[in-house]
Structure 1
Amino acid sequence: MAWTGIILVLYLVMANIPLYGIPAQATETSVSLQRIIFASSAGSLMELGIGPIVTAGLILQVLVGAKLIDIDLNNPEDRKTFTAAQKSLAILFAIFEATMYVIGNKYWQGTGITPSWGVKLLVILQLSFAAFLVQLFDEMLQKGWGIGSAISLFILAGVAHQVFWSFLGYVPRVAETYGFIPALIKERSLLLIARPNGYPDLTGLLATVAMILFLIYVQAMRVEIPVTSARLRGIRTRVPLQFMYVTNIPILLVGIAVADLQLFNGIIQNLAGPTSTWARYYQDFVYYVTPPRGIIPAISDPLRTVTFTVSWTILAVAFGFMWVELAGLNPRDQAERLIESGMEVPGMRRNPRVLESILAKYIYPLTLLSSLIVAAIAIVADIFGAYGTGTGILLAVGIINQYYMMISYERALETYPLLRKLLGEG
């Protein structure tokens, strides 16, 4: 817990240290999907956040799952190779993104400042080194110095920051950027039920609470499959499958894809200029797949709301099925694991194909249904202006649940030392 806290504090400090060599940045009060997914902070050492690590890991996972790279992640040596490749690719992504930011004149556009190549190189080095530190933090936590992973920790911190800012944020002399409570104190108006430009309002607050409660409820639901053990004299038990079988993975993957589109949109606009036709087309495309923030923006541009809803639903279902296959959660792999553990379905032959056909009746419908549910939660939450974005709430609740399970597991091992020996951790 102490190391986890130290790393979290270091991340928050880095997120508030401005890059040396760039003009002073205005306070960023808008909620961006890119900032939520990548846990980044504009104009600071955490400009890239966890983006390079997440993007590198996603690409390698897809290549391994599609068998384009011959690596067995169950083999310790192959897993080391995969980890080393992910680290190297993440650093290359960090250098590439930092270079594109500098070449695209992201920090100096419209300021009248023409930086020297020395200053540009210094900015690239700062961003690349910060990305390396984030990767080091993640490695420390995953090797047992802390709890969980730095990626999950930083996403949770970013969402918590956005929720807190939306609720209590305050910027003097800028009325529109007040959080809900300061705006309520200042304006004392029922118009705060729905505010323009996606600013925090009462509708968003109620949507945030409702979505959190609903997520807690559905994550506790299970679908149980009766099985028996031939090794333990036919003892009957049940294998619980989570009702949210794909958890928040589909929306996380959709969010990463859209966040990457937003990232390159800024770079393309800076490089090509606002008058470029193809750059405008790309900007329009990104706009129509980006969530509207609040009731008023959603109603004022129904075409955007429809395209966002349809595209996110289709992508969530596609990513859900893709993840089930890549992560070994499909009926075939699950059946093999049950057979290896000595389990079988009562009244059925102990045959992997038979067990696979039975599991398929549960797993594929659960995959479709859970993908649609997480997509619906994210879409509805964004349309109603939930604090921290719908994607952020999904990720935050899932991460908190993971931390709860990990801490409960550690406490169980401390309470029952014999259990540690049985699990081979003694």
Structure 2
Amino acid sequence: MNFVKGASTVIPEVKKPIKRLSLRERFIWTAMALIIYLVMAQTPLYGVPKNIGDQFALARVIFASTQGSLVELGIGPIVTAGLIMQLLKGSGLLRLDFKRPEDRALFTSATKILTLIITLVEASAFILGGVFGPSISLNVAFIILIQLFFATLIIQLLDELVQKGWGIGSGISLFILAGVAQRIFWAMFSPLTPDGKYFGVIPFTISAAFAGNPAEALFREGRSPSLFSLALTIGIILALIYIEGMRIEIPITSARFRGFSGIYPIKLLYVSNIPVILTSALMANILFFSRLFWSRFNPGNQNPYLNWIATYGSDPTHPTGGLIYYITSPANLAGALQDPLRSLTYTIFIVTFAILFAKLWVSVGGLSPHDAAKSLIDAKVQIPGFRRSEVSIESILARYIPPLTIIGGLIIGLLASIADLLGVFGSGIGLLLMVSIIIQYYQLLVREHIEDFMPKLGSFLGRK
């Protein structure tokens, strides 16, 4: 801990504003942070060759990263460090009391230091693993490492800027939302013509209608967006909005204020998108190391035993056989129908690990019935008709939280995998993240709007 306190003095940080900014001012700061991030996403890394395969295409949407740019790592190091610190805190290995400002500051500083360490580790692994090409000199590798380190530091400061009162919500959520929205917008309106035809579904449909063949836009070959995939995307978004609103409501009353009552909501998606995020990160790492292993020991697919693990063809970013092939998505409906066994094994893999990660996160992430009961007791809240004790409240929560954890993991895994198989815009996990973030921003803006009209309500909502 002394190391963390000492190191935190040299790591740059964003100070909180002296007074609370207006909503308009915070919109401006939020937009500035987003513009800086998008500019970085279009700034190429010096020393990285063009036209190299993207080995982390599956994880790009989760980590809001762009291949070959300053945001090659995206928010990956920040998210990874946050998950690790949350796991350490939830498992009791880090004994910190978040009610104490010094402990909260220590936790934040440790997370920032861990983020920079993970950045160096991930960047080194990318370089050694050949992500930037097989033949990079030591000098160029060092330059790439420095670029990624300072780029992540800037992203960390942008996230801190948004969270500390200068902006609205979370920088991490903002960058993910922008990345997914950009993909959807590109699939709908892109004017590029890679095969002599418009890529975006809207200009392609208009072009097909003028050519007298509008039905051509209903279904398209390969991964080109179509009206069918547009309809599926809208359907998945509506289904996610509906599911996000499903919850079990447990009545509660305040032990401190007589007559005050409310509800304790337990969402159907109790652990939100965390299980699919962890599953997708696991998938990306499996693909990365299988590709690295194949390039070192079986580049020509000549070893029959190693071929059971994975085989690759002319495109080294997509497996063509082996176990790895059957846990990856065909990425569109045509591919799913062509190889139904692969579609089935991919869905089973995603759903299984989504459930496992859901149960793990509830156990160590501070979401178990015991942790939830302790939080209610600390908040001086009780359930009408039951004794105000951790044991009684925990027994009630235990009726709902464990089964909802499994059901939520199952639903989120099915939605993500099926959406990927159908070839929706932005990918299945991308839509899950986008809908969840939009709902969070909507709730946040509603609360901000209420506070603007009733400032005294801010203290009740925990604002200073």
TM-score, L = length of structure 2? 0.82
Who is 1:19 aligned against?
45
Q: How many residues align?
A: 421
- Pair 1:271–1:14, CA change in 2 (3 A): farther
Who is 2:33 aligned against?
7
Who is 1:290 aligned against?
328
The CA distance in 2 between the partners of 1:6 and 1:101, in whole Å, is 30
Who is 1:203 aligned against?
228
The CA distance in 1 between the partners of 2:441 and 2:336, in whole Å, is 34
1:348 and 2:369 correspond: no
The CA distance in 1 between the partners of 2:49 and 2:206, in whole Å, is 34
Q: Please report the RMSD computed on the Cα atoms of aligned residues, expressed in angstroms.
A: 2.9
**Residue pair 1:251, 1:378 contacting (<8 A) in 2 also:** yes
Choose the corresponding residue for 1:327, options 361, 365, 368. 365
**Residue pair 2:52, 2:132 contacting (<8 A) in 1 also:** no
Query: Greater shift after overlay, 291-300 or 164-173?
Result: 164-173
The CA distance in 1 between the partners of 2:114 and 2:108, in whole Å, is 10
Query: Greater shift after overlay, 96-105 or 154-163?
Result: 96-105
Per-residue CA deviation, residues 31-50 of structure 1 (Å, 9 max, x unaligned), is 93211011111111111111
The CA distance in 1 between the partners of 2:307 and 2:117, in whole Å, is 25
- Pair 1:27–1:179, CA change in 2 (3 A): farther
Who is 1:95 aligned against?
120
- Pair 1:237–1:71, CA change in 2 (3 A): closer
Report which of the two has the higher share of helix. Answer: 1
The CA distance in 1 between the partners of 2:69 and 2:366, in whole Å, is 38
- Pair 1:171–1:221, CA change in 2 (3 A): same
- Pair 1:74–1:308, CA change in 2 (3 A): farther
SS at match of 1:289: coil
Measured after TM superposition, the shift of residue 303 of structure 1 is: 2.5
**Residue pair 1:176, 1:199 contacting (<8 A) in 2 also:** no
Residue type of the partner of 1:180? V
1:336 and 2:374 correspond: yes
Query: Greater shift after overlay, 61-70 or 146-155?
Result: 61-70
- Pair 1:34–1:422, CA change in 2 (3 A): closer
Per-residue CA deviation, residues 356-379 of structure 1 (Å, 9 max, x unaligned), is 111211222222222222122112
SS at match of 1:223: strand
Counterparts of 1:8-407 in structure 2, within 5 Å, are 8-25=34-51, 32-109=57-134, 115-175=136-196, 178-187=199-208, 188=213, 190-233=215-258, 236-265=261-290, 268=293, 274-275=299-300, 281=309, 284-407=322-445
Structure 2 gaps of 5+ residues are 1-26, 311-318
**Residue pair 2:85, 2:111 contacting (<8 A) in 1 also:** yes
Per-residue CA deviation, residues 394-426 of structure 1 (Å, 9 max, x unaligned), is 000101111112222222222112212444534
The CA distance in 2 between the partners of 1:373 and 1:44, in whole Å, is 34
SS at match of 1:244: coil
The CA distance in 2 between the partners of 1:424 and 1:150, in whole Å, is 21
The CA distance in 1 between the partners of 2:137 and 2:236, in whole Å, is 49
Per-residue CA deviation, residues 71-114 of structure 1 (Å, 9 max, x unaligned), is 445543333333223222222222233233333443345xxxx6
TM-score, L = length of structure 1? 0.88
- Pair 1:339–1:24, CA change in 2 (3 A): closer
SS at match of 1:227: strand
Structure 1 gaps of 5+ residues are none
The CA distance in 1 between the partners of 2:177 and 2:264, in whole Å, is 30
Who is 2:10 aligned against?
none
**Residue pair 1:31, 1:388 contacting (<8 A) in 2 also:** no
**Residue pair 1:295, 1:384 contacting (<8 A) in 2 also:** yes
Per-residue CA deviation, residues 151-185 of structure 1 (Å, 9 max, x unaligned), is 11111111011111111223334347812233334
% identical aligned pairs: 42
Who is 2:8 aligned against?
none
SS at match of 1:197: coil
Measured after TM superposition, the shift of residue 311 of structure 1 is: 1.2
